[in-house]
Chains A and B, each alone.
Chain A
Amino acid sequence: MKKSVLFTLSLFILFSAFNSYAAVSSASPKGDVTKIKLKNFKEKAGDYVGKTIKLKGIVDHVCEHGGKKMFLVEEKSDARVKITPDENLAAFNQDMVGETVEVIGVVKEFRLDEDYLIEMEEKIKADSKEESEIHMGEHDGNKKEEHSAEDQMEQVNRLRKKLKDSGEDHLSYYSVEATSYKILK
């Protein structure tokens, strides 16, 4: 009994460890991989949605809450690209900040349209109503929530203007869902 429990546990741990290692070290991607320079990503990403690309950049930021996203930048441009790990890849590590990495992954598109903005507005209003009901009668002068709701509404208005100015029915935001990456020395 003791042996079988230990054996199962060891197998599980080995399996998890092996998989995360294989994913971080350059796993061979299926199909064609197009190399795109970080500075050209914004303008070219639309043509590569759903396709696998290779990107190189410096890790500028790794999400502090679980490492489920990071941003790549480069020295000679203002480009900033969001990278998320796919389900087989372990969350990114804070130690990666400042390192140059080569990422292989699939280009994803997020479409922001008027419906999404209306949803955002409704959520902000609902959250702000909930906050004021909870804090009713115990206002302590801390207007953090209030400001936060105002800021969010301002952001919605900015996005609405941007959408209108674009002349399109949506704004596209692109990111890369990484299937593998390696830290370059």
Chain B
Amino acid sequence: MTFKWRKWNKAIHRDFGYFFFGMTLIYAISGIALNHLDDWNPNFIITTQEIQTNSISKEIDKEGVLTLLEKYDEKENYKKHYFPRGKYLKVFIKGGTITIDLESGKGIIEKTKRRPVFSEMDYLHYNPIKYWTWFADIYAGALIILAIGGIFIPRGRASLKKRGIWFLLAGILIPVVYLLVYYY
């Protein structure tokens, strides 16, 4: 009985394709998002609002801070406060911070909201824990199998020996050109 490698290759390619469908989308979408970090923040939607209040004493207590927050509808969101470098009042509120220069009273309310879908995908892309890294390594290994196995699936005119080889070479040529131009 001969080993039917084509049958096995096809089955592995099909089932790995199904199983790692989610992982491929996670790494592809977060990869695009992280490629453009200079243009946007894929993890968070950050909104800022400049504020101006009177100068603030470093002796201000929690009650005083709460009174201050009331003016900006943030009283209910108060978490904690402290005085960085003795020059500022930093108030932690739910979903953000308020930083005010004690002397000038000039400040900024910064609100941070998770960007749905992208923040979760980016979190995983950054390898949050070693168990995820293990799974990501398995996925990377599966991609190698998918890539190598994939080129042997088509038969006839579309096979590797005919049309396929030109596409394969073109795909390899592009990174090689980049390396020759920018790396060497």
Contact = CB atoms under 8 A, between A and B. Distances in A.
B27 to A, nearest CB: 14
B17 to A, nearest CB: 14
A125 B77 CA distance: 46
B44 A58 contact: no
B123 A66 contact: yes
A99 interface: yes
A94 B129 contact: no
B126 A65 contact: yes
A173 interface: no
A149 interface: no
A121 interface: no
A138 interface: no
B126 A64 contact: no
A90 B129 contact: yes
A91 B84 CA distance: 25
A155 interface: no
A100 B80 contact: yes
B89 to A, nearest CB: 11
Interface string A92-107: 0010011110000000
B152 interface: no
Nearest to B122: A66
- By secondary structure, the A interface counts as loop
Most buried by A among B19, B86, B123, B129: B129
Contacts of B123: 66-67, 91
A12 B135 contact: yes
B175 interface: no
A58 B92 contact: yes
Nearest to B131: A16
B92 A89 contact: no
A110 interface: no
A98 B83 contact: no
A75 B83 contact: yes
Interface in B87-132: 90, 92-94, 97, 112, 114, 122-123, 125-132
B44 A97 contact: no
Interface string A62-103: 001111100001110010000000011111001001111000
B82 A75 contact: yes
A65 B92 CA distance: 20
15 contacts: A5-B19, A64-B44, A65-B43, A65-B126, A67-B123, A74-B82, A75-B80, A78-B86, A87-B129, A88-B130, A89-B129, A91-B126, A91-B129, A98-B97, A99-B80
Given A66-B123, A87-B130, 13 more contacts: A5-B19, A12-B135, A19-B129, A60-B84, A65-B43, A67-B123, A68-B126, A73-B82, A78-B84, A88-B130, A90-B128, A94-B44, A98-B94
Interface of A: 5, 12, 15-16, 19-20, 58, 60, 64-68, 73-75, 78, 87-91, 94, 97-100, 134
Q: Which 8 A-B pairs have the closest CB atoms?
A: A98-B92, A66-B126, A98-B79, A91-B128, A16-B131, A90-B129, A75-B82, A87-B130
